[in-house]
Each structure stands twice: as C-alpha cells, then as structure tokens.
Amino acid sequence: MKKCFAGRSRSLMIRSFLPFAARYLSRHPTKLGQLYQYWLGYSQRYGELASLTSEQVENVEEVFYELECQEPHFQDLNGLTGVPMFHMLAYAVVRLMKPNVVVETGVAEGLSSWFILLALEQNGRGILHSIDLPNQDIELFPGGPRQTEILPDGKQTGFIVPENLRTHWQLHLGNAKELLPRLLHSLGKIDIFLHDSLHTYDHMMFEYRTAWAYLREGGVLLSDDVDLHTALSDFAAEANCPHVIFNFVPRSKGVGAIRKATEMRRE
C-alpha cells in the first residue's frame, strides 16, 4: 500500500511540473541540465513543507494527492493549473497542523477562505477568522503595480464560500490595522496566520509583527506575494527565525512562510 501511494504521489509531482517543463524546453531545447536543477528544487518543496509543519514527507504528499484526486472543487477550478499556489499551501498547512484557531487577512471573493475552511472541515475541528476590507484599488509603491480587488456588483465579501463550510468561519469587515490587533487580543493565541491583504511593505510588516506576538510556539505564518519586496525576509531576520519561499517553479508568484520557534528548537 505504501509503495502504491508513493507511486501515486510521485506521479502527481511529475504531472504538476510538466507544464513548466514543456514551456521551458520549447524556449531552451538544449538546457536539459538547467531543467533538471529546476526539478530538483521543485521536489525539495515537499521536504520544506514537511519541515515547516513537523510532518513526514509522505504525509505532505498524501495531502496534495487528497486535494487533487479527491476534492471536486479543486477539479472544478482546473486543478494544478487553475488554483493559486497560496491556496494549495494554505490547505496543506491547515490539514497537516490541525489548528484550533486560524486567522487570515484578505478575503475578496473567498477562494482562499474556501480552501482553509475545507481543510478545517476535513480535520473536524478549528475556526477561521477572516478580516477583509472590500473593494480596494491601491498603488503598492510609486510607479509600481496596483492592487485591485473589486467585488462584482451585488456581491459581498466571501460570496463563493458554500454554506456548509460557514460553521467554521467568522468574517470581520474593516481595516486590518484596526481590526487585527483587537481580534488577536480577544483570541489570545493563534495557531496559523495567513497574510493575503494589502501587499505594501509597511502593511505586510505591520501584519507580520502584530500576528507574531500572538502566534503560539510552533505556529506558522504564511504569506502571499512575498516576491514584491523584502518584507518577509526582513521580518524573518527581525524575528530570528528562518523563512522558506515556496515558488514551486521559477518566476512563479512567491509564497513564503516562517515557523515560530519552540523552546526545544531554541536550545
């Protein structure tokens, strides 16, 4: 059974890497050695996720296999080619760590919330607190890209989240600079914090610092869009904790994570 599963999970990794490999070879047909190095880096991500969550690599592979092969919603979104990496990692981290309290910032239509709530439902435990400030259109830095998240007319934050998952969900609408400190103070300790709201350097540092104070030992901070600037690496240095970047293929949108040290890890 183990061998059978190992073959299935390895097949999943290969199939998820193939679209990038095909594009790369069409542009660089003679650079097979570089493509092989990319594959080695890609396969290492499973080990990095295992280390982040203190799980076995086999359990990480099982969670991704479960998501791709047994979750209809994942297939409806065109699976590995249609679901953002942040959402897949959020699902995997929640499934593996089995948290009681998860806090996320940034909801919009609710796709990331759906995957987190699905993982909580699979775990049979846990509450997700989500903070969102609807309908933003903000320049991230002078002359740089804009972050535009406008809900369709007549739609509310998180409108795609199905009713059967909402028993695990508490949605808070407003500015995270005001709501996040109050929410965290009321919760006391949290297990996982996920950032996917305003991606300016100052705001990301604010959220990291604020959430970190309430994150339990061994808890995980997961952040989307860390490739826009150095906020995550700067905060990791400030917190004296290593960070990992999960851009599974070159030039993909960066997702980063930091695990808060435990007493055992500090020794």
Query: One-letter amino acid identity for 200?
Result: T
For position 100, which CATH number holds? Answer: 3.40.50.150
Q: Residue 142 and residue 125: Cα distance in Å, rounded?
A: 43
Say whether pLDDT at 8 is over 70.
Answer: no
Helices (H), the chain: 2-27, 32-53, 57-70, 72-76, 79-82, 85-97, 111-123, 176-187, 201-212, 231-239, 263-266
Q: Residue 133 and residue 108: Cα distance in Å, rounded?
A: 8
**Residues of the domain holding 200:** 2-266
- HSE-CB of 102 using CA atoms within 13 angstroms: 30
Average pLDDT (234-253) is 80
Q: How many domains, in total, are found in the chain?
A: 1
Single pTM value for the model: 0.83
Q: Parallel, antiparallel, or unpaired: how do β-strands 215-224 and 255-259 relate? A: antiparallel
Cβ count near 12 (within 10 Å): 17
Mean pLDDT, rounded, of the chain: 85
- Sign of the C-alpha dihedral computed for residues 89, 239, 218 and 45 taken in this order: positive
For 38-85, what is each residue's pLDDT tens digit? Answer: 777 667 778 889 999 999 988 888 888 888 777 888 777 766 666 788
Average pLDDT (107-119) is 94
